[in-house]
Amino acid sequence: MPSTIQSIELRNLKIEDYKELKKSMIESYPEMAESFWKEEQLEVLLNKFPAGQLVIVVDGIVVGSALSILVTEDFAFKTKTYKEITGNFEFSTHNPAGEVVYGIDVFINPKYRGLRLGRRLYDVRKELCEQLNLKSIIFAGRIPSYGKYKDEITPKVYIEKVKKKEIYDPVLSFQLSNDFHEVRVLQNYLVGDTESLEYAVLLEWNNIYYDDSPKLINTTKSVVRLGLIQWQMRSLANLEALFDQAEFFIDTVSGYGSDFALFPEFFTAPLMADYNHLSEAEAIRELARHTEAVKLKFQEFAISYNINIITGSMPFIENEHVYNVGFLCKRDGTNEMYRKIHITPNEVFHWGITGGDVIQTFDTDCGKIGIVICYDVEFPELSRLMADEGMNILFVPFLTDTQNGYTRVKHCAQARAIENECYVAIAGCVGNLPKVNNMDIQYAQAAVFTPSDFAFPSNGIKAEATPNTEMTLIVDVDINLLRELHEHGSVKILKDRRHDLYSLTKK
């Protein structure tokens, strides 16, 4: 390594670079000294795919390069030798319509190793893959240290030991550290590669931003705006008064361009004041008579205000059982029901509520979401099953009477965000409701929680409302940050689960 370096430049290859590139390549592969690229071969590559040919220049000297072509994924996976993938080294296999970058070569002059220049080449190749909306990067990597172990272990065992860092391989160890995963072992891949005994490992890096069906309209948004409604319990004269108050909030959060409006659990409870002379169990059944009308009105609001509405929850009677349910009213006019699965002792004792039996996620124009009601968020299995289905945002309408109950909801919601690498939005009711039995006092603080990693707030809290005050909370969440977290986070909780020891499935 030179003692002093004045400048480092990473740029596209030019044919004028050939003389220096040839010298660096010969020095990089001393065991295959006659296998350097010819000038006419590089001219072909530059004519076919100029963006895919990269060089590292240190103080005006070309010290490394990354060369590539485009191929189809099927061709990349089924081709078994270097000669085949390169079209007998003439690159006739380059396919401008291919969805995969195939790495033909990467090398750094030995004199300049230790500066992480190879990583720079890999990073720029990944950026190219993302910019061109290509599916992945694939190539076959040599395993030059395998020759030392050929009499002891098979290539398969060798790869596993490299992965576990029991063996260091200068090529494979580097590629695995750059987020490539092995696909399979190839035999007789590169003629003359005596160090690897002509074995190679087919490797792949997946572009998590790849879109195989780009659309001009109705595309899934990457930044989603959430409108959380911290609902004040108050006396309401009738159902129309409830609709007026609800519409005020929907109009407000829609006016700020929100994609979702989240209402709290049992925000319709003020309507039970008319039935306070009845038992709690009878009053909740009377309140359930309004549920269909509330659903229909919120469907209308969702369309007219162009917003997806999560209606908190309300009682619903089916086959004489009372359920705690809500509706996802989408701005396309459709709606879907969700049910509270775990019922609190209070709900069972006073209202006789029955738990639902459906665990599901919902597809929206902002991606896949999950919804659990209050107590459900304290059971991690539900949201984990939803995360396995691709949930990005978990919505939690809740109702808690004391700060103790709220603390359980809050901290469990934060845990769900971290362990499932998703956003969690919670919204509850505040204030007092003196004329409704079993609904006297409320405590809430709406919030949006995030995973805990460098791209997110250090405390995992994106935003919080003022406690026990009627208000709205408008929050933007970036779905692309979740995708980045899944692949490149400080920890990868979903990926690192030990499926060989345990599993979680729906019954």
Over residues 350-358, mean pLDDT: 96
Average pLDDT, the chain: 93
pLDDT of residue 422 exceeding 90: yes
Q: pLDDT band at 301, cuts 50/70/90?
A: very high
Cβ–Cβ under 8 Å, residues 200 and 184? no
The predicted-structure confidence for 458-470, as pLDDT tens digits, reads as follows: 999 999 999 999 9
Mean pLDDT of 223-248: 95
> If DSSP states are collapsed to H, E and C, what string results for 182-204?
EEEEECCCCCCCCCCCCCEEEEE
Model pTM? Answer: 0.76
pLDDT, residue 406, reads 97
Q: What contacts 266, CB < 8 A, 6 or more positions away?
A: 312, 313, 314, 324, 399, 429, 439
% of the chain at pLDDT higher than 70: 97
Express each pLDDT in 111-158 by its tens digit.
888 888 988 899 899 999 999 999 999 999 999 999 999 999 999 999
Residue from 265, 280, 421, 470 carrying the catalytic annotation:
265
Contact call for residues 233 and 269 (beta carbons, < 8 A): yes
Q: Which of 340, 368, 410, 462 is catalytic?
A: 340
pLDDT at position 3: 65
Q: Checking DSSP bridges between strand 461-464 and strand 314-318, what pairing results, if any?
A: unpaired
pLDDT of residue 306: 87
pLDDT band at 423 (very low <50, low <70, confident <90, very high): very high
**Residue 374 designated active-site:** yes
* Interior/surface letters 189-219, b for 16+ CB within 10 angstroms, e for the rest: bbeebebbebbbbbbbbebeeeeeeeeeeee
- CB-CB neighbours of 174 under 10 Å: 16
Contact 136, 204 (CB under 8 A): yes
- The string of pLDDT tens digits covering residues 194-228 is 899 999 999 999 998 888 765 555 556 789 999 99
Task: Give the CA angle between residues 270, 273, 275 to the nearest 5°.
Answer: 130
Single out the catalytic residue among 374, 412, 422, 429: 374
* 1 confidence band (pLDDT: 50, 70, 90): low
Would you tell me the crossing angle of helices 239-255 and 291-304 to the nearest 10 degrees? 30
Identify whether 90 is a catalytic site residue: no
pLDDT at 34: 66
For residue 9, report the phi and psi dihedrals to the nearest 5 degrees. Answer: -130, 135
Is 265 a residue of the active site? yes
Query: In the structure, what pLDDT confidence band is assigned to residue 332 with cuts at 50, 70 and 90?
Result: confident
